[in-house]
Amino acid sequence: MADNMQPIQQAKQQWEQGMVAKTLAKFPERQGKFLTVSGSEVERLYAPAPGSLESYNEQLGFPGQYPFTRGVQPTMYRGRLWTMRQYAGFSTAEESNKRYRFLLDQGSTGLSVAFDLPTQIGYDSDDAMAAGEIGKVGVAIDTLADMETLFAGIPLDKVSTSMTINSTAAVLLAMYIAVAEKQGVKPEQLDGTIQNDILKEYIARGTYRFPPKPSLRLISDIFAYCTQSVPKWNTISISGYHIREAGSTAAQEVGFTLADAICYVQTAMEAGLKVDDFGPRLAFFFAAHTDVLEEVAKFRAARRLYAKIMKERFKAQDAKSWMLRFHTQTGGVTLTAQQPDNNIVRVTLQALAAVLGGTQSLHTNSKDEALALPTEESVRIALRTQQIIAFESGVTNAIDPLGGSYAVEAMTDRIEKEAKAYIDKIDELGGMVAAIEQGYVQKEIETSAYEYGLSVEKSERTIVGVNKFQVKEQGGAELFAVPEETTRRQIEKLKQVKATRDNARVKASLAAIEKAATGKENLMPFILEAVRAYASIGEVCGTLQKVFGEYTESFN
């Protein structure tokens, strides 16, 4: 055993002296000893003693090294903690701005913006299609004026912002860039992420506007534009979260998400982009559910499988292109209206799974989200959950602390194998767009969701407070509600902007978008000019629809 042990220990020592020392030099506050509550020192990384170095590196490797099973950074949380985001957006830009300031004051280290449904699909608040939905599930953004209000007093060169926006991602990113310009912040200083993942909208969520082909064009245009002009921006957050929320298994979440990623990479490369020019800025978004060990294994399997895809399938040379960096949100679908205080415990377990799995940023849901938009009190509890895990639990003291567990390693291998089988099947069907058009992906998720729901209904699976351990519900705490006055105020603001802007400039900018859309020019500069002129999101998207058409779901 001593002979087998030596190569791994030597490699570990080289890793410590090389990658780790270099990374820790940037984070002096994370150096020194890490101790348990009892005072015992915790090693930075635990590695198995037996086995050859070659077989160890092939499956696990060291943190920060291919295939990244144990983490994408050599120091992980021993270097710096994950970004603590809280997803928020409701009512008007003024109200959401107050919530963002509250979150930053409470110690949140990044913002995550939720938009209402009209904004997500590209309709103005005064459009008949927006009736009844203004400000309900996110903030209403019609023009640059709303975006200016949303980020008033928030320095965009110092805050990392994630925007959950897909069909209209190009328009919202353009507005964000324009707001930064007005603050005196250059595009190259901006740090954040747009979700920009349209394929999962066709699969699981439904907030699409245009057909797949022009939607993919918009995505590749964003890749190209940001590579040149907004280099620190994560141009896509390829989302497994909504796939999981729709009822998928953990392996389906990984398989379908990475199949989406394959489609995006292929599209960008076919448009003439080099994989290592945009690959390092791709990011992912996963759910964290309550089965802690399976969730940890899921994240580890996703990293390993993605690294192999980027290196072997797409021949990426830059190690940063192999890294699956991801944001995690705790499982909204797991929250219950019954005994909502139980959701605090569920979210804690889910957040712990995300941290043990090596997430780069995290949003924790609030206990009352199965009932209404969260109150400030419940948002604070959700954020404190992250902070307690970070500073009190001890799980950040060691990198990949569950690595080497017989259970976790076996689950990691299983999920990787099952996810790879889904990717192979989608390849056989002609790729993800073809698989969506044939209804294959949707059917697989629907079947899994049905089987899960049936198991709960039959009490084969226990959901505490729902099918077991019920209590007679008492009157709960006061819930947050969006005032009906919001609609009138938002429409009035839009009307005022349209009346005071340079409408000739708006008309010219929209005509330029339409002309560019009929050709092959990158659309981002034209969209940016339109939003600078205070063209509305409905006007921009309506112009694009003239050329692209509107998507209607139908299966072959």
Residue showing tokens 């144990």: 70
pLDDT band at 7 (very low <50, low <70, confident <90, very high): confident
pLDDT in tens, 401-429: 999 898 899 889 999 999 999 999 999 99
Query: Contact at 8 Å (CB) between 394 and 405?
Result: no
Write phi, then psi, for 361 (nearest 5 degrees): -155, 160
> Which of 313, 423, 403 is closest to 69 using CA atoms?
403
Beta bridge partners of 160: 110
Query: Contact at 8 Å (CB) between 325 and 261?
Result: no
Tokens of residue 247, six digits: 């009822």
pLDDT band at 555 (very low <50, low <70, confident <90, very high): low
Mean pLDDT of 118-131: 96
pLDDT band at 3 (very low <50, low <70, confident <90, very high): very low
Tell whether the model's pLDDT for residue 2 goes beyond 50.
no
Tell whether the model's pLDDT for residue 256 goes beyond 90.
yes
pLDDT band at 372 (very low <50, low <70, confident <90, very high): confident
Strand ranges inside 141-200, DSSP E: 160-164, 192-194
Q: Percent of the chain, pLDDT > 70?
A: 96
Give dist(CA 545, CA 514) in Å, integer: 9
One-character DSSP codes across 17-37:
IIIIHHHHTT-GGG-S--B-T
pLDDT band at 527 (very low <50, low <70, confident <90, very high): very high
pLDDT at 323: 98
Mean pLDDT of 491-509: 97
Query: Contact at 8 Å (CB) between 154 and 173?
Result: no
Burial of 86 (0-12, 13-18, 19+ CB in 10 A): buried
Burial of 53 (0-12, 13-18, 19+ CB in 10 A): middle
pLDDT band at 46 (very low <50, low <70, confident <90, very high): confident
Judged by DSSP in three states, 218 sits in: helix
| Mean model confidence pLDDT for the chain | 92
> Which of 543, 527, 532, 535 is closest to 497 using CA atoms?
535
Give dist(CA 393, CA 222) in Å, integer: 40
pLDDT band at 37 (very low <50, low <70, confident <90, very high): low
- Domains parsed from the chain with CATH numbers: 2-59 (no CATH), 156-457 (3.20.20.240), 488-548 (no CATH)
Give dist(CA 469, CA 9) in Å, integer: 50
Tokens of residue 367, six digits: 């206990």
Give dist(CA 208, CA 79) in Å, integer: 39
